[in-house]
Amino acid sequence: MPESPQQWFARVSEAVAREGYRESDLQQWSSWPWIGDLSPKALDAPVDAEPPRRGAGGVECGQCAGAASLDPGYVVWHDDLFFLGLPFEPRGLPFALFLMPRRHAELATLTVKEAARQGELLAAIDASAQAVLDVPRIQVALWGDGSEHLHWWLYARPTGMLQLRGTFLSHWDNLLPAAPAAEFRADQVLVAHEVARRAGGEAVPV
% of the chain beyond a pLDDT of 70: 100
Least confident window among 18-32, 108-122, 170-184: 18-32
As a whole number, mean pLDDT of residues 182-187 equals: 96
Does pLDDT of 33 surpass 90? Answer: yes
Which of the four pLDDT bands, split at 50, 70 and 90, describes residue 34? very high
C-alpha span between 151 and 180 (Å, rounded): 24
As a whole number, mean pLDDT of residues 180-198 equals: 97
C-alpha span between 124 and 199 (Å, rounded): 6
**C-alpha of 203 from chain center:** 20
Q: For position 24, what pLDDT does the model report?
A: 85
Does pLDDT of 182 surpass 90? Answer: yes
Q: For position 26, what pLDDT does the model report?
A: 87
**C-alpha of 95 from chain center:** 12
Which of the four pLDDT bands, split at 50, 70 and 90, describes residue 5? very high
Write down all domains in the chain, each with its CATH number in brackets: 56-203 (3.30.428.10)
Q: For position 126, what pLDDT does the model report?
A: 98
Q: For position 36, what pLDDT does the model report?
A: 87
Q: For position 206, what pLDDT does the model report?
A: 86
As a whole number, mean pLDDT of residues 120-130 equals: 98
Strand order in the sheet with 82-85: 139-141, 152-156, 95-101, 82-85, 75-78, 202-203
Which of the four pLDDT bands, split at 50, 70 and 90, describes residue 94? very high
The string of DSSP codes covering 67-133 is: HHH--TTTEEEE-SSEEEE--SS--SSSEEEEEEESSS--GGG--HHHHHHHHHHHHHHHHHHHHHS
Q: For position 42, what pLDDT does the model report?
A: 92
Per-residue pLDDT reduced to its tens digit, 42-79: 999 999 999 999 999 999 999 999 999 999 999 999 99
As a whole number, mean pLDDT of residues 131-152 equals: 96
C-alpha pair distances (Å), 67 with each of 21, 79, 125, 192: 44, 10, 19, 16
As a whole number, mean pLDDT of residues 167-187 equals: 94
DSSP single-letter state for residue 153: E
Q: For position 105, what pLDDT does the model report?
A: 97
